[in-house]
A and B are shown apart, each in its own frame.
Chain A
Amino acid sequence: GENVEQHPSTLSVQEGDSAVIKCTYSDSASNYFPWYKQELGKRPQLIIDIRSNVGEKKDQRIAVTLNKTAKHFSLHITETQPEDSAVYFCAATFTNAGKSTFGDGTTLTVKP
């Protein structure tokens, strides 16, 4: 089955700096790669996603890049703010199978 590794497990940055979180996956059939943000005690919410026919996608301060050859994808957050502090999860999905495999999460702390 699919295996997703996410790094780093914790990340601390100063407000205004950039943050990068990386994930690798094992199954070349995976074709959809979402990123979720989970605040303490809350449900995960989708913040950005990318499908396998695209190499990069950007939404304001957030961007995701995908390298299908190397089987890795990354989340980039620029100009970080304290409200970006949360746990971020990546996932790899083979939509035909209807199943996602999640990384273990990255706890991001943005210090004012």
Chain B
Amino acid sequence: DGGITQSPKYLFRKEGQNVTLSCEQNLNHDAMYWYRQDPGQGLRLIYYSQIVNDFQKGDIAEGYSVSREKKDSFPLTVTSAQKNPTAFYLCASTPRGLAGEGVQFFGPGTRLTVL
């Protein structure tokens, strides 16, 4: 299970605050992803990045921002513009152009609660 880490495991935020979730990987994967998971629901894509200094919006990008300044790091900021941020956030990475292309390796997740 090692190779991709997320911190913190639990995060509490007051309304109106921005918070940043950390995601780092040592798998030398080119592509990284952020998903949101709500109780009893599937994984919805927030942002993804296939290469350093480039990223694309997913299906639910509003109220979130990301950066990809290094290959091994893809932090997610949940801004005050996100109206319902309480959820489980999963980061993932995948190799590109290799035999394992497409296989997503997930981090352990961060559970964000807005008080």
- A residues neighboring B (CB under 8 Å): 1, 6, 32, 34, 36, 42-46, 49, 89, 91, 93, 95, 98-105
Contacts and interface: CB of A to CB of B under 8 A. Distances in A.
Given A43-B90, A43-B108, A34 B42 contact: no
Contacts of B102: 32, 34, 49, 93, 95, 100
A81 B9 CA distance: 30
Contact of A89 (B42, B58, B103): B42
B106 A103 contact: no
B104 interface: yes
27 contacts: A6-B42, A34-B102, A34-B103, A34-B104, A36-B104, A42-B108, A43-B1, A43-B108, A43-B109, A44-B43, A44-B106, A46-B103, A46-B104, A49-B102, A49-B103, A93-B102, A98-B31, A98-B50, A98-B94, A99-B45, A99-B48, A100-B102, A101-B45, A102-B42, A102-B43, A105-B40, A105-B42
Given A43-B107, A98-B48, A105 B41 contact: yes
A32 B96 CA distance: 13
A17 B15 CA distance: 48
A46 to B, nearest CB: 6
A100 B59 CA distance: 11
B62 interface: no
Interface string B73-115: 0000000000000000010001010000111101111000000
B9 to A, nearest CB: 10
Nearest to A43: B106
Nearest to B101: A95
Nearest to B88: A41
Contacts of A43: 1, 90, 106-109
Given A32-B102, A95-B101, A98-B96, A104 B50 contact: no
A90 to B, nearest CB: 9
